Copies of this chain bind each other. A is one copy, B any other.
Amino acid sequence: MAVNLEPPKELLAVPGALVGSAAAAVKAGSVGGALEQRLDVAVFSFADGADIGGAYTQSHFAAAPVVLARARNKHARAWVINSGNANAATGEPGQADADSICGTAARFLQIGMEQVQPFSTGVIGERLPVDRINKAVGECYRCLEADGWLDAAMAIMTTDTVPKGTSSRFDLDGETVTITGIAKGSGMIKPNMATMLAYMATDANVAAGVADMLVEDSLGSSFNRITVDGDTSTNDCYMLACTGLASHEEITGREHPLYSPLLESVRAVAMELAQSLVRDGEGATKFVEVRVTGGATAEDCLSVAYTVAESPLVKTALFAGDANWGRFCMAIGRAPIAKLDTRGVKLWLRSMQVSETPHTADAVQVADAGMMCDSYTDAAGAAVLAQDEFTVHIDLGAGQAAESVWTTDLSYDYVRINAEYRT
Contact = CB atoms under 8 A, between A and B. Distances in A.
Interface of A: 58-62, 86, 88-91, 123-126, 191-194, 229-234, 311-313, 316-317, 319-320, 322, 324-327, 329-335, 337, 339-340, 342-343, 367, 369-372, 378, 410-412, 414-416, 418-422
A93 B233 CA distance: 47
Contact of A371 (B125, B234, B419, B420): B125
State the oligomeric state as a number of copies: 2
Contact of A324 (B192, B327, B330): B192
Given A61-B332, A333-B234, A370 B324 contact: no
Given A124-B326, A231-B334, A316-B419, 13 more contacts: A59-B334, A61-B332, A88-B329, A89-B342, A89-B371, A91-B371, A191-B326, A192-B326, A193-B326, A316-B414, A317-B418, A317-B419, A320-B422
A233 B332 CA distance: 10
B420 A329 contact: no
A343 B94 CA distance: 13
Given A194-B313, A342-B61, A367-B89, A125 B325 contact: yes
A269 to B, nearest CB: 26
A337 to B, nearest CB: 8
B370 A89 contact: yes
Query: Which among A88, A194, A415 has the highest number of chain B CB atoms within 10 Å?
Result: A415
Contacts of A339: 60
A415 B415 contact: yes
A412 B412 contact: yes
Contacts of A335: 60
A91 B126 CA distance: 56
Nearest to A231: B313
Contacts of A415: 316, 319, 410-412, 414-415
Given A319-B415, A371-B89, A191 B324 contact: yes
Contact of A60 (B59, B322, B332, B411): B332
Nearest to A336: B58
Nearest to A409: B419
Contacts of A234: 329-330, 333
Given A191-B324, A193-B313, A312-B312, A124 B329 contact: yes
Contacts of A193: 313, 326-327, 330
A406 B149 CA distance: 47
A392 B337 CA distance: 31
Nearest to A321: B422
A370 B316 contact: no
Nearest first, the 3 closest Cβ-Cβ pairs linking A and B are A124-B326, A61-B333, A59-B333
A326 B372 contact: no
Query: Which among A62, A123, A193, A229 has the highest number of chain B CB atoms within 10 Å?
Result: A193
Nearest to A233: B330
A146 B336 CA distance: 41
Contacts of A312: 229-231, 312, 410, 414, 418
Contacts of A59: 330, 333-334
A103 B343 CA distance: 26
Contact of A329 (B61, B369, B421): B61
17 contacts: A61-B370, A88-B326, A89-B329, A124-B326, A125-B372, A192-B326, A229-B313, A231-B312, A316-B415, A317-B418, A319-B415, A320-B418, A320-B419, A411-B419, A412-B412, A412-B415, A412-B421
